[in-house]
A = this chain, B = another copy of it.
Amino acid sequence: MISENAKIGKNVKMGNDIHIGEYCVIEDNVTLESHSYIDSNTIIRKNVHLGKGAFVGSHCIIGEYLMDFCVDRREQGYSLIIGDDALIRSGTVIYTDSEIGRGFQTGHNVTVREKSQIGNYVSIGTLSDVQGNCQIGNYVRIHSNVFIAPLTKIDNFVWIYPHVVLTNDPTPPSTQFAGVRVHLFAVIASGAIIMPGLNIGQDSLVSAGAVVTHPVEAYTAVAGNPARPICDIRKIKNHFSGEQAYPWRNEFKRYMPWIDSNFASWCNNLSFDEKVAYGLDTVDLGFMLEGEE
């Protein structure tokens, strides 16, 4: 159902089963695929392509203007593509000139700026601020109020918890930036701050409140201000069960592509091309050598 109180632009293409709420503004050249729900008071700007089954909450701006429009008020013809099954909660602002994969989710009042390359099944929590010009892989889970500076690169299967800050300016203010690189399966816990340009290694664990000033090695847990290595993650026990808690991929399935099996089986069934696509072709996952699963 399309509200009579919505303002629909020219050349808007809609699939079937579309809901557009009260006081929405759908600008020209927008494509809404089938089964999409656009809640009241939301704005979808020019040249946005939203995949099937999208849910967009109220007070969102999808395809927000870049700075150039604010200055000269001329449309530049940028576009924004968001894959199928997006769930974008209220107040979220996604700039144009980005590309975002399938199954994208946001909390409330999230900001995603331009030139963000975001993979499939990524979740970005309430208030998080992705400053654009960055790469985020697949199955990355970013919780509330995380700050992601430009030039950040986040691999697949990374978890970032509330109030984490990924910086990029080694000597602020300056004009040369160095983004943080977060490797496969890494976990950055609440309130941690990562200094510019650092590698956060595969399967590492940055503890809550850590201020990370040196690269973090693979399979290493760090903590403190400044952060120091505290142990191998494989020594950390689950608080409740007393069993080995990390690598988490062997214990945890929710949201992950191995939800119906386990990581080792899922991984062993991947084709080589799939392994490459997931970034799993060249890494030491431990369990294959050691039979962990």
Residues on A lying within 8 angstroms of B by beta carbon are 5, 7, 19, 21-23, 25, 37, 40-41, 43, 55, 57-59, 61, 64, 70-71, 73, 87, 89-91, 93, 107-109, 111, 126-127, 129, 131, 141, 144-145, 147, 149, 159, 161-163, 165, 167, 169-176, 178, 187, 189-191, 193, 195-197, 208-209, 211, 223-226, 236-240, 245-246, 248, 251-252, 254
Contact = CB atoms under 8 A, between A and B. Distances in A.
Nearest to A4: B7
Chain copies in the assembly? 3
A245 B173 CA distance: 9
A30 B165 CA distance: 39
Considering residues A109, A167, A173, A178, which has the most beta carbons from chain B within 10 angstroms of its beta carbon?
A173
Contact of A163 (B25, B87, B147): B147
A189 B208 contact: no
Contacts of A238: 170-171, 174, 176
Interface of A is mostly: loop
A252 B64 contact: no
B163 A165 contact: yes
A30 to B, nearest CB: 14
Given A109-B109, A147-B163, A165-B163, A141 B61 contact: no
Contacts of A196: 239
A21 B23 CA distance: 12
A84 to B, nearest CB: 14
Contacts of A187: 172-173
A144 B141 contact: no
A245 B144 contact: no
A120 to B, nearest CB: 18
A108 B108 contact: no
Contacts of A87: 70-71
Contacts of A43: 40-41, 58
A126 to B, nearest CB: 5
A95 B87 CA distance: 16
11 contacts: A21-B25, A37-B70, A41-B41, A41-B43, A59-B91, A71-B87, A163-B193, A167-B190, A171-B246, A174-B238, A197-B239
Contact of A209 (B144, B145, B162, B193): B193
